[in-house]
A and B are shown apart, each in its own frame.
Chain A
Amino acid sequence: DGGITQSPKYLFRKEGQNVTLSCEQNLNHDAMYWYRQDPGQGLRLIYYSQIVNDFQKGDIAEGYSVSREKKESFPLTVTSAQKNPTAFYLCASRERPYNEQFFGPGTRLTVL
């Protein structure tokens, strides 16, 4: 089945630790996105990548980093510089030039 997978579903981290969230897609989509969702708010864009080996900052990139070494994979690292990392993180992909973004199931990150 084609789709987007994110792992793990739940992630716990101690303050001061970096953690990496996985996002993999087998849809052959060019563009991939990372969003953050907080209670009472819509999704906000962290980073996006339109092609392999290229990525750009979104609206709230501070404290996060990404890589895009393969078309299928777009991992997100939440660094210790991120002040409020506890949130729900969603990965999405899009086949250009079409418009719909398809989302993965998300990862819930909790900082203890």
Chain B
Amino acid sequence: AQTVTQSQPEMSVQEAETVTLSCTYDTSESDYYLFWYKQPPSRQMILVIRQEAYKQQNATENRFSVNFQKAAKSFSLKISDSQLGDAAMYFCAYRSAIHGEYGNKLVFGAGTILRVKS
């Protein structure tokens, strides 16, 4: 079974600075997808960024970028120019590319709370 580990329960960053959130995963599959979701205090889950495992190029979305290291099974999220609105819980998630018995469910890490200081 696949597992996702986020080893940082909490992180802090000063406004306008850069922060990196860590995520590692375990899988025997070669084709899969990885995601970062943001959950602000409203608790609405918002997709931040996704990465296809077959792509070597790291995904970017405005101030958000990932460092995808397939061999190391690592998928970190970098937030540049941090803003107060970035304060939230961030979840790393894995999804198999194989149509499996769980309808391609998302496997989530435990989350990292990001605090942004003004």
Contacts and interface: CB of A to CB of B under 8 A. Distances in A.
Interface of A: 31, 33, 40-45, 48-50, 56, 58-59, 88, 90, 92, 94, 99-103, 105-106
Contacts of B50: 99-100
B112 to A, nearest CB: 11
Interface residues of B, number: 24
B110 A103 contact: no
Interface of B: 4, 33, 35, 37, 42-47, 50, 91, 93, 95, 101-106, 108-111
Secondary structure call for the A interface:
strand
Contacts of B103: 31, 33, 48-50, 56
Contacts of B110: 40-42
Given A48-B102, A50-B103, A59-B102, 15 more contacts: A31-B103, A42-B4, A42-B91, A42-B93, A43-B45, A43-B106, A43-B108, A58-B102, A94-B104, A99-B33, A99-B95, A103-B45, A103-B46, A105-B42, A105-B44
